Amino acid sequence: MPGDITSAEPAPDQEPKSPGSSLLGHGVEIDAASEKRLVRKLDRRLVLLAFLCYMAAFLDRSNIGNAETAGMSEDLGFDNAQYQWLLTIFYIPYIVFEWLALMWKILPPHIWAFATVFVWGVASMLQAAAFNWQGLMACRFFLATAEAGFGPGMPYLFSFFYTRRELGFRCGIFLSAAPLATTFAGALAYGITSSHYSIASWRLLFIIEAIPPLVLAFVVYFFLPDSAATAKFLTDEDKAIARARAISHSGHEGGTAQGHRVGSINARDIVETLKTPQAWVQALMYFSCNVAFASLPVFLPAVLTGMGFTSVNAQGLTAPPYFLAFAVCILSTYVGDRTQQRGLLIAGLSLVGCAGYVMLAASRPVGVRYAGVFLAAAGVFPAIANILSWLLNNQRSDTRRGVGIAVMNIIGQCGPLLGTRVFPQGEGPYYVKGMSVCAAFMALNAVLAFGLRTYFKVQNDRWDRAAREAPRTSDKAGGYEGAAEGTSKKHLETAAEAETKGLENSSEWRYAL
């Protein structure tokens, strides 16, 4: 009957029994409709919760600018240099504590997610109680520490549940929360701070925008799944499908008989990851994008004001470019999943962003400069989403993915330290130096993406030649993702081999280009 999971003899050349089925580990045949139903359930629970939390995180990290506009520095008596430090202090713990991404592998995810979301909610709310600059600095420090343990690690958690051909799109949805939050952040802040209250409006802003993470912390504690095997919202059939997917995809690490992927890390994989060139190149790519990513939301209202718009209109005019970035982020990661050609996609997006910054630096007509804002936003945000997906696609175990994310963020989060300081107030309204720096780094990102893709292509070709020249042995592990799309009819040779190999440790594995 449709949706059944049936045993099949593990013959190397066996084909699925029906057009809508695929073969996975242990010779298990899965109805395609049942697999799609499982993925939809995971999307509704896991991706939706992650999206809402990241949206709350982005609001809480960026509302410092709206609070400043509402009179925070005047009330607390600090100058512009001290305000710049409030921006900078966020990225210092965000760099230092990036290793916390590995905690998703060590602790039950629902507990770790609760702790990080709750702590940043408390830190965000305590900003409303600050009575001096030092107090705000302390709150921003703990806010960043908690967010460092959440944001970079959530796509890592996705890799426990999704395959290579599914992962990028989910990362795109997750990261698209940032530009979407920015589309309404200004209007929300204006609505809160434009009226008169018994307390300072900037304090009320911190209080109101800290409520969502405090509520979401308890939601993720009770509803975020630790693994498919323990998820209460999945049926036994769903869990069997998820287990077969994990074995076929992860094999030696995570695809165990129980389906557990939490509780330990592989020390050897840590060393191997640090020896791979892609870990460092992708970290430099992330750095390049973050120079622009961090500066754009902070300084865009000032740039638009410099074009002659009023402060209120400038806040409203930030929304359309960010909404475009939101849409392109989702679309580009979907295309990347379908084509597995992320390098060219990242290079193209980076050049779009570069063109936008060149227009902002070199042009003076308002219409041309505003068009440049659209190109900059539509290039920067989606490029970051695809860089992260590319990294997750091309590290061959859970531990390697976790270390890769940590390395990428430790180096990449240094980008905002530069990006938030290349737009000094005295260089407005055109900020030629800042725009030129962002354009240069987006161009560098395109070069790095194309170069890394070339490296991956050379490696894949070398493995293909070796496979053609060497006699086939017992390693006949097949590409699950291809089977899921109906493009491959191979499957894992035996249950024992599946337990110790899986696609990621087989000779069939290739880099996603």
What is the tens place of the pLDDT at every residue in 296-336? 776 777 777 777 777 667 767 878 899 999 999 999 999 99
User: What is the pLDDT, as a whole number, of residue 3?
Assistant: 41
CA pair distance 234, 252, nearest whole angstrom: 24
Are 235 and 24 contacting, i.e. CB atoms less than 8 angstroms apart?
no
Is 81's pLDDT higher than 80?
yes
Helix 432-469 vs helix 277-306: crossing angle, to nearest 10: 150
User: What is the pLDDT, as a whole number, of residue 351?
Assistant: 97
Which pLDDT band, with edges at 50, 70 and 90, does 196 fall under?
confident
The mean per-residue pLDDT over the stretch 132-149 comes to: 93
Q: What's the pLDDT tens digit per position in 463-485?
A: 888 888 876 544 444 443 333 33
User: What is the pLDDT, as a whole number, of residue 25?
Assistant: 43
CA pair distance 42, 157, nearest whole angstrom: 12
User: What is the pLDDT, as a whole number, of residue 311?
Assistant: 66
Domain boundaries, the chain: 32-461
Cβ neighbours for 45, distance < 8 A, ≥ 6 positions apart: 223, 224, 225, 231, 233
The two structure tokens encoding residue 430: 């055109």
Domain at 32-461: CATH architecture: Up-down Bundle (1.20)
Q: What's the pLDDT tens digit per position in 276-286?
A: 889 999 999 99
CA pair distance 408, 209, nearest whole angstrom: 29
Q: What are phi and psi for residue 30, nearest 5 degrees?
A: -120, 130
